[in-house]
Amino acid sequence: MPVGPLMIKFLVMGTLLLGSLALLMNIMPTGRQNLRSRRVLGIIKNPIAMVATIDDGGDEKVRKTEEEWKKVLTEEQYQVTRCSATERPFMGKYWDHHEDGTYTCVGCGQELFSSDTKYDSKSGWPSYYKPVDNAAVSEIKDISYGRVRTEIVCSNCEAHLGHVFPDGPQPTGRRFCINSASLDFVKDD
Q: Which residues are catalytic?
A: 177
Cα 181 from Cα 157, distance rounded (Å): 15
97: left (phi over 0), alpha (psi -120 to 50) or beta: beta
Binding of Zn ion at residue 132 (CB under 5 A)? no
Of positions 48, 108, 140, 152, contacts Zn ion by CB under 5 A: 108
Size of the site for Zn ion (CB under 5 A): 8
CB of 133 to Zn ion, least distance (A): 13
CB of 112 to Zn ion, least distance (A): 8
CB of 41 to Zn ion, least distance (A): 21
Q: Is 59 in a helix, a strand, or coil?
A: coil
Only segment of 9-17, 37-45, 104-112, 178-186 that touches Zn ion (CB under 5 A):
104-112
**Cβ atoms 123, 177 nearer than 8 A:** yes
Of positions 105, 140, 152, 153, contacts Zn ion by CB under 5 A: 105
Amino acid, res. 186:
V
Length of the chain: 189
Binding of Zn ion at residue 107 (CB under 5 A)? yes
Binding of Zn ion at residue 162 (CB under 5 A)? no
**x/- contact string, 138-157, with Zn ion (CB under 5 A)?**
----------------x-xx
CB of 110 to Zn ion, least distance (A): 5
Name the nearest CA neighbour of 59 among 131, 110, 134, 132: 110
36: left (phi over 0), alpha (psi -120 to 50) or beta: alpha
DSSP state of 115: G
Task: List contacts with Zn ion (CB under 5 A).
Answer: 105, 107-108, 110, 154, 156-157, 159
